[in-house]
Homo-oligomer: A and B are copies of this chain.
C-alpha cells in the first residue's frame, strides 16, 4: 500500500465519504448542517448530496420544522440504494447476512458445509449470500467474510486456520469467483470489531478488543482503524505466555507452555477438567475456582497489552458458550486491578456477546466501511 498521489478523483472520494459519514452519524441531517460539519462550501454539499441521492445512497425524508427561515430538507442514508453481505464461515456452516447502508440486517441465511475444503467453503458461502440477497444481488456492493484464524486481508490469504485446517489459502479470490462480487476477508475478531466500530456505542478511536471463546483473539483499533500488522499477523493474543504461579507448567496445543489459551479459553478450562479425570462439561457453579483462575490470567494479560497501546476503551466479546456465570465480571475486575498506569486512568472496559450474527454483520460492515472512509493510501 504505497501512498497514492493526490488528484481530483481523490478529493471527490474524500468528500463523498465525509458527507456520508456525517449523515450516518447524525442522521437525519440538513445540507446546512453538513456544510458546517464538513467544512465544505454549501455549493459543494449541494453537488455531492445531489450525486449521492441520484445513486440511492442518500434519501430526502422529512422536512424539519422551520427555525425562523426556510425549513431544512433532511437527509438520511438510503435503505434501498445499496446492500452489503457478510458471511461467517465455520467448519460446519456458512452463515450469511445482508445489511443495508445503515448496517441493519435485512436478511439472513445459513448453508451447511459438505467439507472444509476451500472450494466447497467458498461455494457454500456464495450460496448462502445468494439466497440471503434474494432479489437484491444487483445492488450488492460486496461481500465480507469472517474466517477463524490468522487472516491477511491485504493479500486475501487465510494464513492459518485451525478450525478449517487451512494454511495459506487464497480465500478472497475463491469467494470472489464463486460469488461474483468484490470480497473482503477478515478474522473473526476483526470482523466483530468492524461491527462494533460501525455502531456508535463502541466507536472509540483507540480501542482494544478481545474475543473469548474456544480460542482467544485480539483486535487493535488505532485512530479509528483496525490494525492488522505485518502480513496480517496481529491479534496473536492466544499464545502469549501467561503469568505462571508455583504450579507446574501447562503444555499448549501449539507446542509451547503456559499460553493464555491454556488458562483463559474454553479449550484451556475444559482441558484442565480432563487432566483431572473429569469427563464432563464445564459447570459455571461447580467449577468456580477454575473460572476465577481463567479470569485472573485473562485480566492481567489484557492489561499488559493495554498498557503498551493505551486505548481509551477495551471491549471483551464473549462467545455465547463462554458466558459462564460471573466469568465476564471477574475478568473485568482483574483487568481493572492490574491496570495501574502512571498518571493515566484505566480505559473503559465493556463486555459483550459475540454471536455468529454479530460476526457476519461485522464482515458486512467491513464492506460498508469503504464507503464512509476514503483512504489516501491505495
Contacts and interface: CB of A to CB of B under 8 A. Distances in A.
Interface of A: 1, 3-8, 10-15, 18, 21, 38-40, 149-150, 159-160, 162, 167-168, 204-206, 218, 220, 222-223, 227-237, 239-246, 254-256, 300-301, 303-305, 307-313, 338, 340-344, 347, 374, 376-377
B159 A236 contact: no
Contact of A235 (B4, B239, B308, B377): B308
A229 B340 contact: no
12 contacts: A5-B14, A6-B13, A6-B15, A222-B229, A223-B377, A230-B311, A231-B344, A239-B307, A239-B342, A240-B308, A244-B244, A254-B340
A246 B7 CA distance: 62
A265 to B, nearest CB: 14
A228 B6 CA distance: 26
A310 B341 contact: no
A40 B5 contact: yes
Given A168-B343, A241-B243, 12 more contacts: A3-B14, A5-B15, A6-B12, A6-B13, A6-B18, A160-B343, A160-B344, A206-B229, A222-B222, A231-B310, A242-B243, A255-B340
Contacts of A309: 220, 227, 229, 234
Contacts of A15: 5-6
A34 to B, nearest CB: 11
A310 B6 contact: no
B243 A246 contact: no
A245 B248 CA distance: 11
B234 A310 contact: yes
Nearest to A222: B227
Contact of A342 (B236, B241, B342): B236
B231 A312 contact: yes
A18 B5 CA distance: 7
A86 B311 CA distance: 28
